[in-house]
Structure 1
């Protein structure tokens, strides 16, 4: 929040984390005339880390809930909100104030969005794959096959031909 406030400004009356977050979103919109995009990567990580510590889990849940409440109240300033995570925490009411959530994790139109396909792996990481092949004393093709055996095959939707590297 401090970095965003350095860029978009702050207000002394914003004393809570959620009011600061709300202020940043609003000022970003006011300064640019464009709605903000919010990406929350691995929203579930704090909850997973505290899953066996009930007091800490409750504290994290409360903090996250306050942030997510801001997303609803700031709707007019937001173009898009994207949350990623591997676990659905419906039972901890973190998202109870959000409506119109669209879970795309099993949507065929987006089934390769949250992973790396074989084609993307080769296109993006060819130099690294060649280096790994050299270290492992394998050919490029053998290295890709080894990576496929170890990391490929995740499917968000049933009956999809393309597996994702995870």
Structure 2
């Protein structure tokens, strides 16, 4: 049996544009862009188990919303990227949101170490990489000389990784969002993936208190979101994802208009946003000629329920399909 007739499985990549451009199998979650960004909360935190597709979801948000470097909406490219997906059928929303916002997309999955000093260094490197993505701001006519001089410091890895420069790291997201707002004259959307990794790793390694202080101040910009209607406030919305709610510390103390959605939240608006529903699981098995294996998949890989939805882990399911296709192509019995 050849697998040439099947679309490539989304195995090992979390980049939305790669999945779409290279015609990987993709389950359409695009309508959730509207659910999230028309939600009235200024700050939204989604917590789900590992390997459920949180990063891919955030990358889809960024791909849809992000303004081009030259200030255009890059509409032709984005419509091609989202071609055939449900969100483009909503013309009113698409006209209002497609390519309309400066987007800061940062992942904290590598911001950890054996010691606090190593973890700080890792976070500083993440910040340098982030600022490098927007280095065109160094030539912005809308930023002051002092702001451009300050910005250049964020591109200096040696300077920023020095723990004495911690103040700059703490102010990084606040400063970058202000620069982008001034440059484009449009409010900024901030996407923070794996927000809880630095804290979880710090708890394991014994420097939790120091990391709580650092991350709390790194997220300090979120505490002024009640002024969201102000023309001077640079941020439109902040979305975070992670595995843990992190209830035992104060990193969100003072953050008003915060909405937290967990697997226990009774919200049909988001319950099937991350992960595969039973119906989606049945469909992907059918699309790979594995219909008969749903009872096996349900028996062995079921066990998640988000609100009232029966959910399956995408990574586990895709791994099973990949293994099953390989075995069937070699006429090897699939364990079932």
Instruction: Provide the TM-score with structure 2 as the length reference.
Output: 0.39
Aligned residue in 1 for 2:180 = 28
Deviation, 1:114, is 2.6
CA contact (8 A) 1:112 1:164 kept: yes
Aligned residue in 2 for 1:78 = 235
- Paired residues in the alignment total 152
Deviation, 1:20, is 2.5
Aligned residue in 2 for 1:63 = 214
In 1, Cα distance between equivalents of 2:221 and 2:150:
16
Deviation, 1:36, is 1.6
Which 4+ runs in 1 deviate beyond 6 A? Answer: none
Long gaps (5+) in structure 1? 131-138
Instruction: Provide the TM-score with structure 1 as the length reference.
Output: 0.73
Report the 3-state secondary structure (helix = DSSP H, G, I; strand = E; otherwise coil) of the residue aligned with 1:164.
strand
CA contact (8 A) 1:68 1:97 kept: no
Offset from partner CA, 1:56-104 (integer Å, 9 cap, x none):
2122212211121022347522221111222222221111131221123
Long gaps (5+) in structure 2? 1-126, 139-146, 152-164, 314-336
Query: Which has a greater percent of strand?
Result: 2
In 1, Cα distance between equivalents of 2:236 and 2:253:
20
Aligned residue in 2 for 1:134 = none
Deviation, 1:143, is 4.1
Q: Which has the higher contact order (CA 8 A, sep 6+)?
A: 2
Residue 27 and residue 98 in structure 1: after superposition, are their counterparts in 2 closer, same or farther (change >3 A)?
same
Residue 36 and residue 148 in structure 1: after superposition, are their counterparts in 2 closer, same or farther (change >3 A)?
farther
In 2, Cα distance between equivalents of 1:143 and 1:27:
53
Aligned residue in 1 for 2:304 = 154
